[in-house]
Amino acid sequence: MKRRPLFHEHFFQHKWSYLLGSVLLSMSLALQLVIPLLLEDFTDGIQHLTIRVSDLWSLAAWFIILGLGIFIFRSSGRIYIFRLSRMLERDLRTKLFTHWETLPAEYYQHERIGNLMAHAVNDVNILRQIGMQGVFQTIEAMVLISITITMMAGTINVYLTLLVLLPLPGLTYLAYRFRTSIRMYSLRVQEAIGTVTSRVQEFCTGIRIIKTYVQEHEEIKKFTKENGENVKANKQLIRSNSLFASYSQGIVGLSYLLSIVFGSLLVMKGRISLGEFVAFNTYLSFLVAPIENLGKVINLFQQGKAADSRLRNVLASEPDIKDEEGIVPLKEIKGEIRIRNLSFQYKNSKGYALRNINLTIEKGASLAIVGKIGSGKSTLVNLLLRVYNPPRNTIFIDNYDIRDLPLKLLRTSIGYVPQTNFLFSSTIKENIAFDPNYYQDNQIYKAAKQAHVYRDIMDFPEGFNTALGERGLSLSGGQRQRVSIARAMIKQSPIMIFDDSLSAVDVKTEERILKTLRSEIKGRTSIIISHRISTIQKADKIIVLDEGKIAEQGTHESLLERNGIYKNMYILQSNEFTLEPSTLPFSSERTVRINKRRS
């Protein structure tokens, strides 16, 4: 279904508030239009010497009263309308953020962060400006132009009014002519800002690599080029906007010229009084700003249209990983996992990441996955978590196809420590208790102790309240991993997944953590991925993945008997160097060389 422009949605939702704001603003404009009438009387009074000193005082009093009235109504109308535009800004950002949270991981692989930021910042800002200046100046222009023209024609001279208005339809023509170019250039500006923002974001994230690889110059070159594109796009937009504004002023100037020449003639012929001539030109001066603003507003609406359509495109992207129709209203998961004939191919990839996987993990059992880099280990757990959707009828938990389980239940039932440990810019405590459930301090401390990071945290200046991230403390790789483990442990989930979660800690710490984890996760189903045999050798079952297939499976002992990939890995990682090269399975020169080097 085609979605209504976002600004329309907001406008209709708040139509009564906008009406009230318009009424307040219109009242201030109506008061403003009394001024030329006072000036007319005053000028005619001076010309005919009928004015007295007391009239001057009353005129001054009128001006003060009018000024106060204009001030009160205008500022309250302005505050009212501007407040609505801030609400629009808030609602749009919330809508975007909420929508982004529903989108799958895949979406973020294809979208540049800079583009997403440009949507959240620039596009939303443009729509806010429409709600602010756009609405305010449109109301002002419509009210002022219509009443002013009525006053000019009704109270002074209809022919002179028609004459000075003659050039003004040219403004509509101009707006039409510039419409396409302004919209096109503003789209280019927004895209260019997206690119520059992405570059800055990438630069900040990768600053260490850039410096260590001495790529500063190259990065500056790329940035300068993209920044230049941004300036070029802006220049084109400014050129269009300026040309439009200058032509508009020319048209307004022509109206003035006509008013002065023909108005003076009418005064000389006695068809209008000098006071009326002054009042007429004052009215005309009231028309200049709104007519000019109308031009700017038309351009702003063009930019808004582009921003609105970009935002609607973002909001139209459908999350393909969501609760599907007919989900089983299960409340709890026990933890038996069955995988049947699972093959999986990423959308943008040619080959299969997983091929014909068949596997059962009993409730409470532990499974270890080893395999070369890129053999499909993380893919398997990502499918289990439905970060990507597995094909139907391939992965079952407690005999339910995971596609039929409520997504929230599935994910809250899995304590997951990912390969890349992301910590938020908040306190350590908040990073550990990162879950919909509320946790007491002692539960947080317990999880930290289980992950063997409690002592490290207590050594930090503010313990668990120490801030991490941009303006806080940086943790070592091993500390990050252990905080991530604590985050997963606190959930007490029936299924635990550790994806290469101990790679950054030394072997001794690893041993201690594993010992604690084994006793803490007893009775829960666990999956441990690792490149280190030492991490996984005590698992109930070990599978060896090779190019997406299960090449071997069994216990540590049974796999060592097989003289296969697992045993080869074991020997390579083992510190036993007494083995003769001839006894090594797949013994290669490289294996022998490594062993010699070690000894």
Ligand X SMILES: Nc1ncnc2c1ncn2[C@@H]1O[C@H](COP(=O)(O)OP(=O)(O)OP(=O)(O)O)[C@@H](O)[C@H]1O
Binding site for ligand X (CB under 6 A): 109, 346, 348-349, 353, 371, 373-379, 419
How many degrees, rounded to 5, is the angle at CA 258 between CA 255 and CA 260? 110
Residue at 103: amino acid letter:
L
Q: Considering beta carbons, is residue 282 or 379 the nearer one to ligand X?
A: 379
Q: Which is nearer to ligand X, 151 or 354 (CB)?
A: 354
CB of 173 to ligand X, least distance (A): 52
Token pair, residue 325, equals 């129709």
* Of 163, 328, 171, residue with least CA distance to 244: 171
Residue 194 vs 371, nearer CB to ligand X: 371
Q: Which is nearer to ligand X, 348 or 399 (by Cβ)?
A: 348
Nearest distance, CB of residue 12 and ligand X, angstroms: 41
Task: Quote the CA–CA distance of 11 and 27 in Å, as a whole number.
Answer: 21
Q: How far apart are CA 461 and CA 146, in angstroms?
A: 67
* Closer of 345 and 412 to ligand X (Cβ): 345
Q: In the complex, what is the shortest distance from the CB of residue 419 to ligand X, in angstroms, rounded to a whole number? A: 6
**Residue 378 vs 526, nearer CB to ligand X:** 378
What minimum distance in Å lies between the beta carbon of 237 and ligand X? Answer: 37
Question: Residue 553 CB, nearest distance to ligand X (Å)?
Answer: 16
State the nearest-atom distance from the C-beta of 374 to ligand X, in Å.
4
Give the DSSP letter of residue 279.
H
Q: Which is nearer to ligand X, 83 or 372 (CB)?
A: 372
**Structure tokens of 86?**
């801030």
Q: For the CB of residue 82, give the shortest distance to ligand X in the complex, in Å.
A: 44
| Strand-pair partners of 541 | 367
Smallest gap from residue 455 Cβ to ligand X (A): 29
The nearest distance, CB 500 to ligand X, in angstroms, is 6
Residue number with CB closer to ligand X (291 or 367): 367
Nearest 10 degrees: CA dihedral of 252, 256, 259, 261?
A: -130
In the chain, the N- to C-terminal Cα span, in Å, equals 70
Nearer to ligand X, 131 or 418 (CB): 418
CB of 587 to ligand X, least distance (A): 24
Closest to ligand X by CB, 109 or 358: 109
Query: Considering the complex, what minimum distance in angstroms separates the CB of residue 554 from ligand X?
Result: 19
Least separation in angstroms between residue 415's CB and ligand X is: 19
Q: Toward ligand X, which CB reaches closer, 275 or 548?
A: 548
Residue 90, classed as helix, strand or coil, is helix
* Shorter beta-carbon distance to ligand X: residue 6 or 502: 502
According to the 3-state scheme, what is the secondary structure of 28-55? HHHHHCHHHHHHHHHHHHHHCCCCCHHH
Q: Are strands 400-401 and 395-397 parallel, antiparallel or unpaired?
A: antiparallel
Question: Of the two residues 32 and 379, which places its CB atom closer to ligand X in the complex?
Answer: 379
d(CA 545, CA 14) in angstroms, rounded, equals 58
* Minimum distance from residue 388 beta carbon to ligand X (Å): 8
* Alpha-carbon dihedral sign for residues 51, 53, 55, 61: positive
Give the separation between CA 482 and CA 532, rounded to whole angstroms.
Answer: 17
- The secondary structure element, H or E, covering residue 311 is helix 274-316
| Local structure of 357: helix, strand or coil | strand
Cα separation, 512 vs 451, whole angstroms? 9
Sign of CA dihedral 555, 560, 561, 564: positive
From residue 272, alpha-carbon distances to 47, 155, 157, 159, 285 in Å are 13, 10, 8, 12, 18
Q: Are 259 and 281 in contact (CB under 8 A)?
A: yes
Q: How far is CA 176 from CA 172, 181, 300, 410, in A?
A: 6, 10, 13, 55
Tell me the two tokens of residue 473.
Answer: 């403390």
- Structure-token pair, residue 469: 């991230």
Closest among 139, 141, 140, 164 to 152, alpha carbons compared: 164
**Distance in Å, CB of 373 to ligand X, minimum:** 4
Structural contact between residues 440 and 432, judged by C-beta atoms closer than 8 angstroms: no
Contact by Cβ (8 Å): 178, 242: no
Q: Which is nearer to ligand X, 233 or 542 (CB)?
A: 542
* Contact predicate 557/397, CB 8 Å: no
Residue that has been written with the tokens 């001066």 in this structure: 285
